[in-house]
């Protein structure tokens, strides 16, 4: 990525954690939620020599110090956070890898650009978990990119908002049509659309989703950081 893009990305992460720009990926920070407000859980990201932890209200007063006393190697492992989630009765979400790209990969002329609803027929062919992970049903999806009949698309990508424009790439392929390169075609077109209008695109993939991780690499996305969250149980449940 261009230096300007890296600065844009890292500035966003600094704002999320409420830390100084020169701390991003260079220090361990553990502090209460900034932008995340009343999110009922922990939000964590790491890269290189940095680990950043955003903590919720109502946790044990000694927990931030316990986290801060751990080594970077420990904190940059999903096992530590899974253990913490288990101790707190919470649910680990992730880890996921955040990728970014600022070089236009070009579009596919056969891909249709349409309304958010154009991808909805795919929902009946996948599990609820696949649909949720794809992001195609998110409220902030603004535009879709599909292949196949308009009423029965076989592949779809979409752009949702990050942080203030349509830059976040989502993608899903019908189970019967996977392995045909369709994910690259729709995702490339969505990525091209985002970069042409907003300079950078983001691709977020669960780190264990090897197909999504590989697709991001094929399109030229750069893996930038790892992120996870611990969702805490509702105390009223």
Whether this model's pTM surpasses 0.75: yes
Please give the Cα distance from 178 to 165 (Å, whole number).
Answer: 29
| pLDDT score of 235 | 66
Peptide bond into 95 cis (omega under 30): yes
Q: How many CB atoms lie within 10 A of CB 187?
A: 31
Sort residue 194 into left (φ over 0), alpha (ψ -120 to 50) or beta: alpha
pLDDT digits (tens, 9 = 90+) for 149-187: 999 999 999 999 999 999 999 999 999 999 999 999 999
Q: Which two tokens stand for residue 133?
A: 């992970």
Answer whether residue 213 shows pLDDT above 90.
Answer: yes
Three-state secondary structure of the chain? CCHHHHHHHHHHHHHHHCCCHHHCCCCEEEEECCCCCCCCEEEEEEECCEEEEEECCCCCCCHHHHHHCCCHHHHCCHHHHHHHHHHHCCEEEEEEEEEEECCCCCCCCCCEEECHHHHHHHHHHCCHHHHHHHCCCCCCCCEEEEECCCCCCCEEEEEEECCCCEEEEEEEECHHHCCCCHHHHHHHHHHHHHHHHHCCEEEEEECCCHHHHHHHHHHCCEEEEEEEEEECCCCCC
Average pLDDT over residues 79-97: 97
Domains of the chain (ranges; CATH) run 3-98+226-231 (no CATH), 104-219 (3.40.630.30)
The confidence score (pLDDT) of residue 212 equals 94
Encoded tokens for 194: 């985002």
pLDDT above 70 covers a percentage of the chain that reads 99
Give pLDDT, residue 237: 56
- What is the pLDDT, as a whole number, of residue 234? 79
Q: So what's the pLDDT on residue 229? A: 98
Per residue in 100-155, pLDDT tens?
999 999 999 999 999 999 999 999 999 999 999 899 999 999 999 999 999 999 99
What does the alpha-carbon distance between residue 62 and residue 65 come to, in Å, rounded to a whole number? 6
């Amino acid at each position: 990525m261009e230096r300007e893009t890296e600065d844009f990305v890292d500035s966003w992460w600094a704002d999320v954690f409420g830390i100084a720009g020169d701390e991003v990926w260079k220090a361990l920070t553990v502090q209460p939620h900034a932008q995340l407000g009343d999110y009922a859980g922990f939000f964590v990201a790491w890269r290189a020599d940095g680990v950043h932890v955003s903590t919720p209200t109502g946790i044990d007063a000694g927990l931030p110090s316990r986290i801060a006393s751990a080594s970077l190697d420990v904190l940059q492992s999903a096992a530590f956070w899974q253990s913490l989630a288990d101790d707190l009765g919470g649910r680990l979400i992730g880890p996921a890898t955040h990728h970014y790209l600022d070089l236009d990969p070009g579009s596919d002329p056969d891909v249709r650009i349409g309304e958010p609803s154009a991808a909805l027929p795919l929902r009946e062919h996948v599990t609820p978990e696949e649909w949720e992970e794809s992001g195609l049903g998110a409220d902030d999806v603004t535009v879709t990119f599909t292949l196949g009949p308009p009423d029965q698309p076989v592949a779809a990508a979409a752009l949702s908002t990050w942080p203030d424009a349509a830059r976040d790439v989502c993608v899903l392929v019908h189970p019967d049509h996977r392995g045909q390169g369709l994910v690259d075609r729709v995702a490339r077109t969505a990525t091209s659309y985002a970069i042409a209008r907003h300079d950078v695109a983001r691709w977020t993939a669960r780190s264990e989703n090897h197909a999504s991780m590989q697709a991001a690499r094929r399109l030229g996305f750069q893996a930038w950081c790892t992120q996870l969250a611990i969702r805490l149980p509702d105390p009223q449940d």
